[in-house]
Amino acid sequence: MSSLRRTTSAAAALVIAASCLVLGSTPAPALENGLLRTPPMGFNNWNSTQCRAEFNETMIKGIADIFVSKGLKDVGYTYVNIDDCWALPSRNSAGNLVPDPARFPSGIKALADYVHAKGLKFGIYTSAGTKTCNTAGFPGALGHEQQDANLFASWGVDYLKYDNCNNQGVDAQQRYKAMRDALAKTGRPIAYSICEWGQTKPWTWAEPVGNLWRTTGDISDRWSSMIGKAQANRGLAQYAGPGHWNDPDMLEVGNGGMTTTEYRTHFSLWAMMAAPLLIGSDLRKVSADDFAILKNTDVIALDQDPLGKQATVLSANAGLVVYSKVLANGDRAVALSNETAATATISTTASATGIGSASSYTLKDLWSKAVRTTTGTISASVPSHATVLYRVSRAGGAARFEAESASLSAGGTIDANHAGYSGTGFANGANAVGSYVEWQVTGPASTLTFGFANGTTAARPVDISVDGTVVAAAVPFPPTGAWTTWSTVARPISLANGPHTIRLTATTDGGPANLDYLDVSP
């Protein structure tokens, strides 16, 4: 009885500990403005209007209206952002930026108020240089960081895109940190978008500086441009996470330069890469097909998944690319993307995604909405420039995580010299106190079952920890009579939805027993 009570309270403590760990998992140096825990969703006018006269107050108000009337706000689009050319070429006598009265006769504050009244957020643009990028020579914020940040805050700005033109060769980190600090001093929460075009690899330095950073030059409304941005951005998954995102530039969906198939690929890949979903088309003119792309809530859910993992590339062979994204509930999103000119079959397996083995999996096609099951193969015939996008879930039963794919502490080996194991081998941890075997698994689970053999005459006790917290101490793995005689140790556990780390650490100098697998049962 007492051991059951201990187990139950340990399990309850574990649920709490695990959720705290998830909340506290952002590394300490991240920009501490608390914003953009998921990638920003919204609008920016640049890709549709550039600096033309149609970029004005009427247009931006119309976009905010459409966010509400056409349900974009309901599916998560929030930021209505304006780009270059909103200001006059000269500051006023007080040194402040002045909105162009021809484009914005009511001023920027009134526009921000209009956007806020609809429950949306408002963003603005300037450059970390002496002037912005346009040849008309609009003033930039280099050397005026605090004055401009203060002005933006006084207008109710919620988001700043900070460009890189006319930077006078001043060090990028210095320029972007100066504006970070100026924004912080305003006291207003302002999401901070570093538009440095990837020139000094901002992913390596900008996590404590901005909420997102461009990884590439500007996108344009062509297949070759869009897929080039995806190719440049997709290897940077390790740098993305809640509050700090890779930015392969804004969406072109709806601008007319790509096919519907290509725009679906664009939207699919941006969602897989946890990229900002900033609509770059004039929503007043977008076709019903393109609207449907922008409003696909199954795809948006991948982008906005709270775990905040960017997809990694599982394989890329001659333009046939498989991406996989870990989701907060333990599901995986898989994209089969065909960059070539001909239809091709693209394949992977559930096991390659690390979801854990199960008797079957559910595949939901997030564009066609068709649902089917598979015992493991994930494969589709994918037309040229198309992307098949699946959400993959374990269909039920225990998931087996083989010890041969676990991590071992120094001295441990994966062996196959004692028959009777499952899979291709077993883990032989080093014979030492502290020697461990660690699995990455996916909850939910109520039981952990370890397959093992112990050919000695003494138990091989281990501490079992979940996400770094010991939940069961010195659990004995008793003698099985021979190294070829395999048995199981099962423990009740309350493992929440999502990814977890399970570690067995030896508490005696025999090290752990030989370990064959871990079954995680819901």
In this complex, which beta carbon is closest to ligand GCU, that of residue 223 or of residue 483?
A: 483
SS3 content of the chain, % helix, strand, coil (to 5): 25, 30, 45
Compute the distance between CA of residue 446 and CA of residue 427 in angstroms, rounded to an integer: 24
In this complex, which beta carbon is closest to ligand GCU, that of residue 140 or of residue 512?
A: 512
Compute the distance between CA of residue 269 and CA of residue 264 in angstroms, rounded to an integer: 8
In this complex, which beta carbon is closest to ligand GCU, that of residue 179 or of residue 437?
A: 437
In this complex, which beta carbon is closest to ligand GCU, that of residue 67 or of residue 421?
A: 421
In this complex, which beta carbon is closest to ligand GCU, that of residue 203 or of residue 421?
A: 421
Nearest to 491 by CA among 430, 434, 446: 446
Strands of the sheet containing 371-374, edge to edge, are: 312-317, 320-326, 332-338, 387-394, 361-365, 371-374
Q: Per the residue annotation, which of 83, 100, 148, 163 is the catalytic one?
A: 163
In this complex, which beta carbon is closest to ligand GCU, that of residue 122 or of residue 477?
A: 477
Determine which residue in the list 483, 489, 500, 503 makes contact with ligand GCU, applying CB under 6 A.
Answer: 483
Amino acid at the residue 414:
I
CB 44 within 8 A of CB 253: no
Helix (H, G, I), strand (E, B) or coil at 491: strand
Amino acid at the residue 321:
V
- Residue 401 CB, nearest distance to ligand GCU (Å)? 20
In this complex, which beta carbon is closest to ligand GCU, that of residue 231 or of residue 431?
A: 431
Active site (annotated) includes residue 282: no
Compute the distance between CA of residue 242 and CA of residue 211 in angstroms, rounded to an integer: 9
| Residue 505 binds ligand GCU (CB under 6 A) | no
- Residue 412 CB, nearest distance to ligand GCU (Å)? 9
Determine which residue in the list 45, 57, 511, 515 makes contact with ligand GCU, applying CB under 6 A.
Answer: 511
Query: What is the CB neighbour count within 10 angstroms for residue 288?
Result: 6
- Residue 440 CB, nearest distance to ligand GCU (Å)? 23
Q: Between residue 367 and residue 426, which ones bind ligand GCU under the rule CB under 6 A? A: 415, 418
CB 290 within 8 A of CB 281: yes
Q: Which residue is nearest to ligand GCU (CB)?
A: 428
Q: Between residue 446 and residue 465, which ones bind ligand GCU under the rule CB under 6 A? A: 456
Q: Per the residue annotation, which of 65, 113, 218, 415 is the catalytic one?
A: 218
Q: Exposed/middle/buried for 92, CB within 10 Å: 0-12, 13-18, 19+? A: exposed
Compute the distance between CA of residue 113 and CA of residue 132 in angstroms, rounded to an integer: 25
Question: What Cα–Cα distance (Å) separates residue 77 from each residue in 39, 120, 277, 411?
Answer: 11, 8, 8, 51
Question: What Cα–Cα distance (Å) separates residue 491 from each residue in 402, 435, 472, 494, 500?
Answer: 17, 20, 9, 10, 16
Q: Between residue 425 and residue 444, which ones bind ligand GCU under the rule CB under 6 A? A: 428, 431
Query: What is the CB neighbour count within 10 angstroms for residue 458?
Result: 11
x-or-dash pattern for ligand GCU, window 67-106, by CB under 6 A? ----------------------------------------
Vertex 204, ends 199 and 205: CA angle to 5°? 90
CA atoms within a 13 Å half-sphere pointing along the CA-CB vector of 498: 15
- Residue 438 CB, nearest distance to ligand GCU (Å)? 17
In this complex, which beta carbon is closest to ligand GCU, that of residue 281 or of residue 454?
A: 454
352 CA to centre of own chain: 19
Specify the DSSP class assigned to residue 36: -
Nearest to 182 by CA among 33, 39, 73: 33
Determine which residue in the list 265, 312, 405, 514 makes contact with ligand GCU, applying CB under 6 A.
Answer: 514
CB 455 within 8 A of CB 482: yes
Query: Count of residues binding ligand GCU (CB under 6 A)?
Result: 8
- Residue 457 CB, nearest distance to ligand GCU (Å)? 11
Which sequence positions are flagged as catalytic? 163, 218
Contact positions vs ligand GCU (CB under 6 A): 415, 418, 428, 431, 456, 483, 511, 514
